[in-house]
Chain A
Amino acid sequence: MSENERKGKYTTVSIPITLYNRIKRMIDGTGFTSVSQFVTYILREVIARMEEEKLKSSGISEEEKREIIERLKRLGYL
């Protein structure tokens, strides 16, 4: 963890009041109990998607892949 990272369980971020009110109206009756809970949910979903898009390589080298394919053939999987 870098020195700039905050500790503790929660912190505060600011969003426009108009957006806050819009979210508050929208989540009524949806199971989300607060604007914070909704925003946390959405941010996690978006960040997970962005992180996934950043990943390109499988982390398995070509040589390793060849060895794995040989083993899979020996075991009858391929």
Chain B
Amino acid sequence: MVSKPHGGRLVDRIAKGRSKERLLVEAREMVKIHVNDSIAADIANIAHGVYSPLEGFMVQEDYLSVLHNMRLSNDIPWTIPIVLDASPDEVSNVKEGDEVALYHKGRAIAVLRIEEIYGWDKREYVINVFKTDDVNHPGVAKTLKRKELFIGGQILLLNDPPEPFERFRLWPKETRVLFEARGWRTIAAFQTRNVPHLGHEYIQKAALTFTEGLFINPLVGWKKPGDYRDEVIVKAYQVLIEHYYPRDSVVFSVLRMEMRYAGPREAIHHAIVRKNFGATHFIIGRDHAGVGNYYKPYEAWDIFKEFPDLGITPLFVHEAFYCKKCGQVVNAKICPHSEDYRIYISGTKIRDMILEGEKPPKYLMRPEVAEVILNHPNPFIKES
């Protein structure tokens, strides 16, 4: 049986029928707040239940509770603030109780009823969420650029933001129906922001060995320079699944949500989101959602001990490597051989090879996947 939604009920904040028509007209007269791609994605995620039980952007009580307790003010686990920032100018003509129109790329995508407008401390945010205030951390740098105020309140979605990967986008209601239609009672979800190498494939298939379905759900959206472009990730997975996966046991869909690089806290966030899609298990590998050396390699495993009420089972999988003596991809738990025989499957090493136009060896990456990347004129993100 698929997981119950986080907080008990799958949120649906989508305006429909006459109510939608009326709000679309009224939105033209409301104060407009223009949002970027990441906030637009958050709006859609709230409305479609990806962030259940959130029904809007956080008010201060929830925001502070998340920062300091890693829980909403009603004690439900939540680790990443979902907040809408605005400048004093943008909210100079509105007050609590008013409705504002949220615009994205010139189109009204939602209406927000303002419950609260409040200031926030940028250092308090980054120290709690990222455990550092180093501006070289991409999540910290992005957070410090946010505007001075947060607006909390319920939203109602009028239009979905544009999605280039519409063919591969599924919402929680859809995955829940899909998993049930396939008869899956246990589903392992895999979060990624990378193209797949043999280490990822090993971890996914290890999980699938013990569950009925595998849900591969890469993030598309804002990522730091040097990461793979979304279209490369999607195409790489398409060929991998086509050539090497049992089709009836795998669901591949994208999730538009920015990477925060918040390590352990983001691991919990990723797990909660996949619980809302119906997954019963969530795969946590080495340095989940990490960047640089800000988090210990298995720090994300430890944080799960603080959440006995998460409602999704973490699957902790050790880093995979190729062992020359075993002759296959294994991990430290199952391989008895020394470091001399081990070739670690490093994403950085693969990236360097690709930048040199070199095809990674077969024990690191499937040739079909390597070809997708090498054939792309510009597989890496150049700027934020």
Interfacial residues, chain A to chain B (CB-CB below 8 A): 1, 9, 31, 41-42, 44-45, 47-48, 51-52, 54-55, 58-60, 64-65, 68-69, 71-72, 75, 77-78
Interface residues of B in 1-23 (CB under 8 A from A): 4-5, 8-10, 12
CB proximity of B111 to chain A, nearest CB, Å: 22
CB proximity of B190 to chain A, nearest CB, Å: 17
How many contacting A-B pairs (Cβ < 8 A)? 53
Cα distance A65–B330 when bound, in Å? 41
**Interface residues on chain B, number (Cβ under 8 Å):** 24
CB proximity of A44 to chain B, nearest CB, Å: 4
The residue from B69, B181, B182 contacting A9, defined by CB atoms under 8 A apart: B69
In the complex, B309 has a CB within 8 A of chain A: yes
With A45-B308, A47-B309, A48-B308: A72-B173 Cβ-Cβ less than 8 Å: no
Not counting A60-B10, A68-B177, a sample of 18 additional A-B residue pairs whose C-beta atoms are within 8 angstroms of each other reads: A1-B73, A44-B309, A45-B308, A45-B309, A48-B308, A48-B311, A52-B8, A55-B8, A58-B10, A58-B176, A59-B9, A59-B12, A68-B178, A69-B177, A69-B181, A72-B174, A72-B177, A77-B170
CB proximity of A37 to chain B, nearest CB, Å: 10
With A41-B308, A75-B167: A59-B177 Cβ-Cβ less than 8 Å: no
In the complex, B251 has a CB within 8 A of chain A: yes
B12 cross-chain contacts in A, Cβ below 8 A: 59
Q: Are A78 and B308 in contact (CB under 8 A)?
A: no
B10 cross-chain contacts in A, Cβ below 8 A: 58-60
Q: Are B8 and A78 in contact (CB under 8 A)?
A: no
B285-313: contact bitstring with A at CB < 8 Å (1 yes, 0 no)? 00000000000000000000100111100
The residue from A42, A54, A68 contacting B173, defined by CB atoms under 8 A apart: A68
Task: Name, among A1, A9, A75, the residue most crowded by chain B CB atoms within 10 Å (CB to CB).
Answer: A75
A48 cross-chain contacts in B, Cβ below 8 A: 308-311
CB proximity of A64 to chain B, nearest CB, Å: 7
Output the nearest chain A residue to B308 by Cβ-Cβ distance: A45
Q: Are A78 and B178 in contact (CB under 8 A)?
A: yes
A78 cross-chain contacts in B, Cβ below 8 A: 178, 181-182
Interface residues of B in 164-222 (CB under 8 A from A): 167, 170, 173-174, 176-178, 181-182
11 residue pairs bridging A and B, Cβ less than 8 Å apart: A9-B69, A52-B4, A52-B311, A54-B8, A55-B4, A58-B10, A60-B173, A68-B178, A69-B177, A77-B170, A78-B181
Cα distance A9–B167 when bound, in Å? 45
Q: Are B308 and A77 in contact (CB under 8 A)?
A: no
Cα distance A75–B178 when bound, in Å? 12
Output the nearest chain A residue to B49 by Cβ-Cβ distance: A59
Output the nearest chain A residue to B2 by Cβ-Cβ distance: A58
Q: Are B311 and A77 in contact (CB under 8 A)?
A: no
Cα distance A11–B4 when bound, in Å? 29
A1 cross-chain contacts in B, Cβ below 8 A: 73
